[in-house]
């Protein structure tokens, strides 16, 4: 593998993101009102702008696990969605190596399907071959713990019957089955219990050894300390501090 520890995987160059919020347009209604909205092209009253990310620049490298901390609404999730390519930055550029994967808070994927189907479909969607799926299936089911949860095989039940922590476990297990160049975890592990947090932290360390980059958003400073050696502190859309975990977390905890 030519990819080496230390090569950049994500380069953010003065990234800005502004949300444009269109009043109270609910997008529901009768055919006639929908039609008149289309014809008149009228935007529902009042456009408000939310400047969520304001000029963020950093370089992330292979083998790094970077913690992202900051108050609610400081722009952490928004920044990750920009990196994942789900939101186009309104200013600046983001360069990535390969396709970053984002694990968000809402952990469900295909709610009406069983855990088993979610595993198979999730792996196929990530680009695995049928054979690779067969190889990884038991590992994923076992890692998530869904194959024997309180003595019941939950892989046979639809995902809508899972608790939020169980859904998060399954989704992390699916995503982690593949090695990623860039994996971003946005509070997806927060609902997991102690046992699963330990297991997922071990998996994150493995991913780093495979020369990937991991971003972790969490309000739990313990899991940040346990997994990351570098932390970026976002405040009101700007980087307030970027450095070794101990320094940044200490400053953050003093400031809060």
Partner 1 sequence: MANSAQADTVPAGGPSADGGGIPLAELAARHNLSVSGARPKLPAYIRQLWQRRHFIVAFANAKTRASYATARLGQVWQILTPLMNAAIYYLVFGLMLKSDKGVDNYVAFLVTGMFIFTFTQSAVLAGTRSISDQLPLIRALHFPRACLPISFTIVQLQQLMISMVVLCAIVLGTGEPLTANWLLLLPALLLQFMFNVGLSMIVARIGAEITDMKQLMPFLLRTWLYVSGVFYSIAHFAKDAPDWVRWILEANPAAVYIELARDALVESHAHVPMHTWALAVGWAFVVGVGGFLFFWQAEEKYGRG
| Residues 155/146, Cβ–Cβ less than 8 Å | yes
Site string for partner 1, 180-219 (x = CB under 8 A): ----------------------------------------
Residues that bind Mg ion (CB under 5 A): 77
Partner whose binding site includes residue 202, from Mg ion, ligand ATP, partner 1, none (CB under 5 to 8 Å by kind): none
CA dist., res. 100 & res. 106, Å (int): 18
Please provide the DSSP assignment of 31-75 as one string: HHHHHHHHHHTPPPS-EEEEEEEEEEEEEEETT-EEEEE-STTSS
**Six-digit token pair at 81?**
């969605």
Residues that bind ligand ATP (CB under 6 A): 19, 21, 50, 52, 70, 72-78
Nearer to ligand ATP, 53 or 140 (CB): 53
**Six-digit token pair at 2?**
């030519």
CA dist., res. 127 & res. 60, Å (int): 25
Partner whose binding site includes residue 70, from ligand ATP, Mg ion, partner 1, none (CB under 5 to 8 Å by kind): ligand ATP
Task: Give the C-alpha distances (Å, rounded to integers) separating 51 from 61, 73, 77, 92, 105.
Answer: 27, 11, 13, 14, 22
Nearer to ligand ATP, 78 or 245 (CB): 78
| Residues 186/80, Cβ–Cβ less than 8 Å | yes
* Shortest separation between residue 35's beta carbon and Mg ion, angstroms: 37
Interface segment toward partner 1; rule CB under 8 A; list 33-41, 47-55, 136-144, 213-221 = 33-41
* Shortest separation between residue 21's beta carbon and partner 1, angstroms: 11
Task: Provide the 10 A C-beta neighbour count for residue 146.
Answer: 27
Partner whose binding site includes residue 73, from ligand ATP, partner 1, Mg ion, none (CB under 5 to 8 Å by kind): ligand ATP
Nearer to partner 1, 124 or 142 (CB): 124
Exposed e or buried b for every residue in 130-139, given b needs 16+ CB within 10 A?
Answer: eeebeebbee
Partner whose binding site includes residue 65, from ligand ATP, partner 1, Mg ion, none (CB under 5 to 8 Å by kind): none
* Shortest separation between residue 138's beta carbon and ligand ATP, angstroms: 34
Task: Give the C-alpha distances (Å, rounded to integers) separating 102 from 21, 81, 86, 217.
Answer: 23, 7, 9, 11
Interface residue with partner 1 among 6, 73, 91, 255 (CB under 8 A) is 6
| Interface contacts to partner 1, rule CB under 8 A | 1-4, 6-14, 27-31, 34-35, 37-38, 57-59, 82-88, 93-97, 99-104, 106, 108-113, 117, 120-122, 124-127, 129-130, 158, 171, 175
């Amino acid at each position: 593998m030519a990819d080496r520890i230390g090569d950049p995987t994500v380069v953010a160059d003065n990234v800005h993101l502004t949300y444009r919020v269109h009043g109270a347009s609910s997008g529901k209604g009768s055919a006639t009102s929908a039609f008149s909205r289309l014809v008149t092209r009228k935007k529902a009253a009042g456009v408000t702008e939310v400047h969520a990310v304001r000029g963020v620049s950093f370089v992330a490298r292979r083998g790094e696990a970077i913690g992202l901390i900051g108050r609610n609404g400081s722009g952490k999730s928004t920044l990750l969605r920009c990196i994942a390519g789900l939101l186009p930055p309104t200013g600046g550029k983001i360069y990535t190596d390969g396709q970053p994967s984002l694990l968000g808070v809402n952990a469900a994927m295909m709610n009406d399907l069983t855990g088993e189907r979610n595993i198979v479909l999730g792996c196929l969607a990530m680009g695995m071959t049928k054979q690779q799926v067969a190889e990884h299936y038991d590992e994923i089911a076992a890692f998530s713990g869904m194959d024997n949860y309180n003595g019941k095989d939950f892989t046979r039940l639809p995902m809508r019957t899972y608790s939020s922590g169980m859904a998060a476990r399954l989704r992390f297990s699916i995503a982690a089955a593949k090695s990623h160049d860039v994996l971003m975890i946005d509070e997806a592990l927060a609902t997991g219990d102690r046992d699963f947090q330990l297991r997922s932290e071990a998996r994150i360390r493995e991913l780093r050894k495979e020369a990937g980059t991991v971003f972790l958003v969490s309000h739990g400073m313990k899991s940040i300390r346990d997994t990351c050696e570098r932390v970026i502190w976002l405040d009101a859309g700007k980087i307030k501090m970027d450095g070794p975990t101990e320094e940044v977390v200490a400053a953050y905890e003093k400031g809060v």
